[in-house]
Amino acid sequence: MGNSIGSGSSPMTSSAHPALINRFFSGSAWIEGAALNQLDEMSRLPGVLEIAAFPDLHPGKYGATGVALLSSRLHPLLIGNDIGCGMSLFGLDLPLRKLKIDRAAERLRRFETQAIGNAAELLTEAGLSTDLTPGALGTIGGGNHFCELQAVEELAEGGSADGLDDQGLYLLVHSGSRSLGATVFSEMAAAHSGLAAGLDPGSEAGAAWLMRHDQCVAWASLNRRLIAERAAAALHADLRLIADVPHNLVRPSDRGFVHYKGAAAVVSGELAPIAGSRASLSYVVRPSAGVARSLDGISHGAGRKYDRATMHGRVGRNRSEREQLLRNSWGGIAICDDRSLVVEEAASAYKDAGQVVTDLENESLVVKLASFRPLVTFKKAVDEAEVEQRRRKPEYRREGGRGHERY
């Protein structure tokens, strides 16, 4: 399962002396052998000095996902194309007692149509060029990205002191740099055939990638805020930022550059979300001083248990099963009009986020403050106007509309 770190047209070269690997997970964690093999290969990459591996570890395209990696060289392949991807948590000024889930789902289904203001001005305010894909701002994208309305399931002692309220509502947003990051990645890979060996941070190529990387990180953070503002507007609510934590990026340190590959880049004492699935609990934790041992990284979510291809045939074999996947035990609703995505993002595709948090707590990396249950999870909605337009086409009528079956 998963691709080898050396697979594809750009195999990674390795050095003979492996770097130190610190494993911050217990025997209870679901860790595939393929991920451990990739971890070993990553430890032999040029310039790599140290790796922290977390309990959400799973195989990835260019190395295991769920790691923080310290290197004297830059490794853009490890960060991939969704540069700056992360999670942001917002509190809403709506009380839980007034929530009607069905009505909230109806409003959130069309939240991406909410106005976001002048895109050029927003980019300028964020210190970004106005030509950096303004049309994609405020959009989630595909894959495992989402915007989720949540409520506190359990509030730990001390959680209230951090501004968490068990009678409030929250938005957790997971998204990244969209087509901007993909363009940066593809152009860098095309320009440097030796990218697999990494880049010298002092070189022209290294400096250029870092500059564009920083733009992607800033753009992705702005994007998450605009997604939340759109969702809050659809719900007729105001919002406040609680945490904004990226997990696909590079940060400089006094020892080199720390690469966060599907690992949350955190600051001790500042809150961080750890996502579950659309049918399981998510968590908010406070990283402790112990995160210095893990290169200031922790898990950002549960991590995949089964890859996307494997999920087909496991669940969602018929329409009835797919409809069941769009509901959870708390009465929550998932909005996802892509049949494949419904199956690939089923709760059973993911590990137990509770076990992930327990492992991090036992390693003295975090303190758990609260668990959150998913109420409405937005992933992908069909454009109703586009569907209606297609229905009117002769070829659609001849085919009986098979390509546009709704759930």
* DSSP 3-state of 206: helix
Q: What is the pLDDT of residues 157-177, one digit of tens each?
A: 877 878 899 999 999 999 999
Is pLDDT at 19 greater than 70 in this prediction?
yes
- Would you state the pLDDT for residue 33? 95
Q: Rounded CA gap, 209 and 163, in Å?
A: 38
**List of domains in the chain:** 84-243+264-307+316-404 (3.90.1860.10)
Q: Rounded CA gap, 376 and 332, in Å?
A: 6
Is pLDDT at 404 greater than 80 in this prediction?
no
**Contact indicator for 205, 199 with CB cutoff of 8 Å:** yes
CA dihedral for 237, 239, 245, 248, sign (positive or negative): positive
Is pLDDT at 301 greater than 80 in this prediction?
yes
Residues serving a catalytic function are 300
Q: What is the pLDDT of residues 358-396, one digit of tens each?
A: 999 999 999 999 999 999 999 998 755 443 444 455 443
Q: Rounded CA gap, 334 and 22, in Å?
A: 37
Local confidence band at 17 (pLDDT 50, 70, 90 cut-offs): confident
Local confidence band at 8 (pLDDT 50, 70, 90 cut-offs): very low
- Would you state the pLDDT for residue 13? 53
Q: Rounded CA gap, 390 and 388, in Å?
A: 5
Q: What is the pLDDT of residues 199-217, one digit of tens each?
A: 999 999 999 999 999 999 9
- Would you state the pLDDT for residue 344? 94
Q: Rounded CA gap, 140 and 177, in Å?
A: 9
pTM of the model: 0.90
Q: What is the dihedral of CA 253, 258, 263, 266, to 10 degrees?
A: 0
**Of 396, 290, 299, residue with least CA distance to 57:** 299
The radius of gyration computed from the CA coordinates of the chain, to the nearest angstrom, equals: 21
Mean pLDDT, residues 288-302: 97
> What interhelical angle do 101-108 and 204-234 show, nearest 10?
130
- Would you state the pLDDT for residue 220? 98
**Of 334, 337, 147, residue with least CA distance to 223:** 147
**Contact indicator for 300, 264 with CB cutoff of 8 Å:** yes
Strands of the sheet with 65-71, listed across from one edge: 20-23, 48-58, 65-71, 256-261, 248-253
Binding site, annotated residues for GMP = 144-148, 247-248, 282, 300-303, 379
Q: Rounded CA gap, 93 and 247, in Å?
A: 27
* Burial class of residue 98 in the structure, from the number of CB atoms within 10 Å of its CB (0-12 exposed, 13-18 middle, 19+ buried): exposed
Q: What is the pLDDT of residues 91-132, one digit of tens each?
A: 999 999 999 999 999 999 999 999 999 999 999 999 999 999
